[in-house]
A and B are shown apart, each in its own frame.
Chain A
Amino acid sequence: MDIPLKTVRQLYRTMVVIRAFEEKVQDLYARGHIPGLAHLYIGEEAIAAGVCANLGDKDYITSTHRGHGHVIAKGALLKPMMAELYGKETGYCKGKGGSMHIADVDLGILGANGIAGGGLPIAVGAGLSCKMKHPGHVAVCFFGDASSNNGTFHESLNFAAVHKLPVVFVCENNGFGISVSQAQHQAITDIAIRAAGYGMPGQTVDGNDVLSVYLAAGEAIERARQGQGPTLLECKTYRWRGHHEGDPNQGGRYRSKEDIQAWVEKCPIKRFEQYLSKNKVMTKKQMQAVWDEVELEITGSIEFAEQSPFPPLSEMYQDVLA
C-alpha cells in the first residue's frame, strides 16, 4: 500500500474530529442545548473519512439524515456546523436547516437530507453537470442500507449506469433502518450484488477499516473521473447509538447490549490507532495531541454557537424563492 503518510494522518484526524464532534453533540443534546433530532455517526467514521479523502472541493457529495460525518469529512467547518445544530444565524443554513440539512454548495456539499433515499437522484444530477461542464469531477452519494429500498435507488443507479455518469454510490450498511434489521427489510446481505443488475461494478468492503474504504473508494472515484461510469460501493458497519438521540436504550427495543458491545470492540478508530502504532506512523503521544487539538476546536465551535444570535423572525420569509 503506497498511501502517502500525509493522507494516512489526515484519515486519522478526520475520524477523530467526527467522533469527538458527535460525542459532544450527544452530551449537548442530553443537556437540552440542541433542539430537534440528532442522528449520530459514532462507529461509522471510517466510511466518510475514507471516501472523502479522495475528493476535492470541486467534487460533490449528497448526504443523509446521519450526515455530520459526511460533511466534516468533506471539509465543513465546525463553527458554522455547530451553530446550525443550535439553530443559530451563523450556521451553515442560517439555522433554518438544522442537523438533518447541513449544506455548503461551495464545498460541494449538496445537503444532508431528511428523506431516506432522497439524495440518490440529486447525486445523479450532480454527476450530469460534472459530465457536461466539469469533466474529471465526480459526485459521491451516501445512503443507508434501508434507504436502498426506496425506488429512487433503482431509478438512480439505472440512470447513472446507462449514461455512464461519474457517480459513486456509497451504501453505509449498518444493518438497520431504525428498528428494522437488514434481514427484515431485504432478502440479500450484500447490497453490492445489486450493481450487476444495473451493469456497473459493485464491491463490498469492511466499513470499519478506513484504509480499505479509502482504497476501494479511490478506485471507484478514479474510474468515474476517467469517464468509465458509476460504481456501487457497500461499506459494512454499525451504529453505536440509537437511531437518533432519545431512541430508548440506544435501540434496546430491537437489539441487545451484547450486539452493540461486539461492534464497539471493532471501533474503527481504535483499530486504526493500532495500525498507526504498529507501523510507526504516529506515536501514542502524537495521537493524543490530535485528540487534544480537536477537543479545543470543538470547544471553540460550541462557544461560537452559544454566543451567536438566533435568526431574526424576518428570516422566516427569506429564501423561499431565489
Chain B
Amino acid sequence: MSRVITYAQALNEALAHCMDQDDSVFIMGEDVGRYGGIFQVTAGLQERFGVDRVMDTPISEAAFVGGAVGAAMTGMRPVVEIMFIDFITVAMDMVINQMAKMHFMFGGRAKVPMVIRVNIGAGRGTAAQHSQSFHAIFQHIPGIKIAMPSTPHDAKGMLIEAIQDDNPVLFVEHKKMYIDKGEVPEEAYTVPIGKAKVVRPGKDITVVATLNMVAKALAVAEEMAGQGVDMEVIDLRALCPLDREAVLASVRKTGTLITADEGCHTGNMGAELAAMVAEHALDSLQAPIIRVAGPDTPVAFSPPLEQAFIPSEQDLKDAVSRVLEYL
C-alpha cells in the first residue's frame, strides 16, 4: 500500500525500518535526538530506539564521522547526519583519507558499511557557509558511493539500500526538498544506487538532472512538448557508481546533452558527464553540451542574489533554445 508522505518522512521510515531489522544500525549527529534533526528527518526515532541508538553528538564532526568509520569497521552500521554539507569539511580527513580508503588500502580486509547523510542547496537565506552544493568534490574520490534521490519514493528505497550496502555511502539530500510530497509504499523496498532513471522518455533533447533540478527539467519538458520538442529527462540518482550507459544511450538517441545540477559550474557533475560523452559518444553529438549549474561564486545572502544563483527553469529553457539552434 502506498500513500503520500514527505521526503523527510520517507527517510525517517527508511531509518526506522533498518533499525528495526538490524541492531547494528544506529544514528549519530547533532540534534538528531529529541529535537528530531534540524529538518525533522529523525523525528521520533530516539523515543522509539533509545538514546544509545539515536545519539546526539557534540559539535565534533571529525570525531563522529571518524567514529562511524571505526564502528563500521568493527561490525556496526552507523548512519551519520551532517547538519549541512558545508560542515563535512571539518571531517574531511575522516571522509577522504580514512573512510574512502580503508577497504582498498587494507587489501579488502576491512569493510566500512556506513552512511553519511548531508543536504545541499541554496534558497533558505543562509548565505555562503550553509548553502553549498559541492557534492561533486566526492565524485573525485574513489571509494565512496554517492546517492542523490530526487523523490520521496527513491529517498526511502535508496536509504535502505545505502544502509545495507557494505560500502561507505554519501547520501545527498536537498534542503528545499524535505517537505516535497510523493507516493511512497508503506512496506520496505530498495532502489539501487548507480542506476539512473528515465523519468520522461523523449527523442529530441537529453537532459540529465539531479535532485531539485529533475522536477524543473520535467516542467520545462512539458512546456517544450507544447512547442513540438520532445525532451528526454533522466534522473541520474547517483554520482557513483555513475550510470554511464543510461546517459550514453540517451545521447546516442537524441544527439544532445544538457546537464542540470545546483553545484557551481566548474567541475560539477555535468563536467564529468560532458567528458564522458566526449570520450564515448562524440560522433553522436549534434549540438554543444550545455551545463545548467550554479555560477562559480559562493552563495550570497541577499535574496535577489541568492535566487539568481539557483539554476532555474528559465536557465534550462535557455539551454534548450541554444541546443535547438543546432537541430
Contacts and interface: CB of A to CB of B under 8 A. Distances in A.
B31 A179 contact: yes
A320 B38 CA distance: 30
Contact of B297 (A147, A177, A317): A317
A121 to B, nearest CB: 12
Contacts of B130: 37, 100, 114
A101 interface: yes
B219 interface: no
B138 interface: no
Interface stretch (A209-217, A260-268, A308-316): A308-316
A150 interface: yes
Interface in B40-62: 56-62
A199 interface: no
B128 A97 contact: yes
B26 interface: no
Which secondary structure dominates where chain B touches chain A?
Answer: loop
Nearest to A253: B35
Interface residues of A, number: 43
Contact of A100 (B56, B127, B295): B127
Which secondary structure dominates where chain A touches chain B?
Answer: loop
B303 interface: yes
A39 B309 CA distance: 24
A35 B308 contact: no
Contact of A35 (B34, B61, B125): B125
A180 B304 contact: no
Contacts of A311: 300, 302, 304-305
B58 A313 contact: no
A184 B305 contact: no
Interface in A246-299: 253-254
A95 B305 contact: yes
B86 interface: yes
10 nearest A-B pairs in the assembled complex, by CB-CB distance: A36-B125, A98-B301, A114-B129, A87-B302, A95-B302, A149-B58, A179-B35, A35-B125, A96-B300, A185-B58
Interface of A: 35-37, 87-89, 93-101, 113-118, 146-147, 149-152, 177-180, 184-186, 253-254, 310-311, 313, 315-317, 320
Interface of B: 30-31, 33-36, 38, 56-63, 86-87, 90, 124-130, 295-298, 300-305, 308-309
